[in-house]
Amino acid sequence: MVEDTFLFPPDTDLDLSFTSTTTDRTSLTRTSSLTLSFSFNDRLSAASASATTSSATVLRRPHRSSDPHWSAIRAATALSSDGRLHLRHLKILGHLGTGNLGRVFLCRLRDDHHGGATFALKVVDKDLLNAKKLSHVETEAEILHALDHPFLPTLYARIDASHYTCLLIDYCPNGDLHSLLRKQPGNRLSIRAVRFFAAEVLVALEYLHALGIVYRDLKPENVLLREDGHVMLSDFDLCFKADVAPVFERRSHSPRLTTNSRNRCFCYNNISNKSRFTEHVVAEFVAEPTTAFSRSCVGTHEYLAPELVSGNGHGNGVDWWAFGIFIYELLYGTTPFKGYSKESTLRNIASSRDVRFYINEREELEEGISEARDLIEKLLVKDPRRRLGCARGATDIKRHPFFDGIKWPLIRTYKAPEVRGLVKRSRSLQHVTSHVTHGRRRKWWWKALEYVMRKKGNKYNSITNYSNGNYYHFVNSHKVR
Ligand SMILES: Nc1ncnc2c1ncn2[C@@H]1O[C@H](COP(=O)(O)OP(=O)(O)OP(=O)(O)O)[C@@H](O)[C@H]1O
pLDDT band, very low/low/confident/very high, at 88 (cuts 50, 70, 90): confident
Tell me: the pLDDT tens digits for 61-85?
A: 556 667 788 888 888 777 777 777 7
What contacts 472, CB < 8 A, 6 or more positions away?
A: 300, 301, 342, 465, 466
Return the beta strands (E) in 315-366 as ranges: none
Mutate which of 222, 235, 463, 474 for ligand 1 pocket (most atoms within 8 A of beta carbon): 235
Strands 103-109 and 118-125: antiparallel
**Percentage of the chain lying above the pLDDT 70 cut:** 68
Superfamily of domain 172-255+279-418: Transferase(Phosphotransferase) domain 1 (1.10.510.10)
pLDDT band, very low/low/confident/very high, at 361 (cuts 50, 70, 90): low
CB count within 10 Å of CB 90 equals: 23
Dist. CA 243–CA 143, nearest whole Å:
14
Amino acid in position 121 = L
> Helices 191-210 and 317-332 meet at what angle, rounded to 10?
160
Catalytic-residue membership of 217: yes
Catalytic residue among 125, 176, 217, 319: 217
Residue 170 has pLDDT above 70, yes or no: yes
What contacts 442, CB < 8 A, 6 or more positions away?
A: 86, 88
| CA 129 vs CA 89, 95, 124, 380: distances in Å | 26, 20, 9, 35
Confidence at residue 110, expressed as pLDDT on a 0 to 100 scale: 85
pLDDT band, very low/low/confident/very high, at 317 (cuts 50, 70, 90): very high
- The CA 436 to ligand 1 mean position distance, Å, reads 30
Confidence at residue 471, expressed as pLDDT on a 0 to 100 scale: 40
- Asked if the domains at 66-171 and 172-255+279-418 fall in one CATH topology, the answer is no
Q: Is 197 helix (H, G, I), strand (E, B) or coil?
A: helix
- The CA 53 to ligand 1 mean position distance, Å, reads 32
Dist. CA 479–CA 297, nearest whole Å:
7
More confident position, 457 or 125:
125
CB 105 within 8 A of CB 121: yes
Tell me: the pLDDT tens digits for 148-158?
A: 999 999 999 89
Mutate which of 234, 239, 470 for ligand 1 pocket (most atoms within 8 A of beta carbon): 234
Confidence at residue 76, expressed as pLDDT on a 0 to 100 scale: 79
**ipTM of the complex, rounded to two decimals:** 0.97
Residue 268 has pLDDT above 80, yes or no: no
Return the beta strands (E) in 395-475 as ranges: 465-468, 471-475
Name the least confident of 50-59, 196-205, 301-310, 421-430: 50-59
Dist. CA 440–CA 445, nearest whole Å:
8
Domain ranges of the chain: 66-171, 172-255+279-418
Confidence at residue 165, expressed as pLDDT on a 0 to 100 scale: 94
Q: Give yes or no for residue 120 CB within 6 A of ligand 1.
A: yes
Dist. CA 51–CA 38, nearest whole Å:
15
Q: Give yes or no for residue 140 CB within 6 A of ligand 1.
A: no
- Residue among 395, 400, 366, 394 at smallest CA distance from 258: 400
Topology of the domain comprising 66-171? Phosphorylase Kinase; domain 1 (3.30.200)
- The CA 207 to ligand 1 mean position distance, Å, reads 21
Ligand 1 atom nearest residue 466's Cα:
25
Dist. CA 12–CA 262, nearest whole Å:
59
Amino acid in position 383 = D
User: Kindly report the CA angle at 379 between 357 and 240, in degrees rounded to 5?
Assistant: 130
> Helices 191-210 and 369-379 meet at what angle, rounded to 10?
30
CB 404 within 8 A of CB 397: no
N-term to C-term CA, the chain: 33
User: Kindly report the CA angle at 432 between 429 and 433, in degrees rounded to 5?
Assistant: 115
Confidence at residue 260, expressed as pLDDT on a 0 to 100 scale: 45
- Residue among 248, 186, 179 at smallest CA distance from 470: 179
Tell me: the pLDDT tens digits for 332-358?
A: 999 999 999 999 999 999 999 999 987
Dist. CA 119–CA 114, nearest whole Å:
14
Mutate which of 3, 96, 156 for ligand 1 pocket (most atoms within 8 A of beta carbon): 96
Dist. CA 479–CA 177, nearest whole Å:
30
- Residue among 28, 79, 37, 78 at smallest CA distance from 54: 78
Confidence at residue 278, expressed as pLDDT on a 0 to 100 scale: 67
User: Kindly report the CA angle at 368 between 363 and 370, in degrees rounded to 5?
Assistant: 70
Dist. CA 80–CA 352, nearest whole Å:
61
Partnered with residue 466 across adjacent β-strands are 473
Helices (H), 107-176: 131-146
Dist. CA 34–CA 193, nearest whole Å:
48
Sheet with 465-468, edge to edge strand ranges: 298-300, 471-475, 465-468
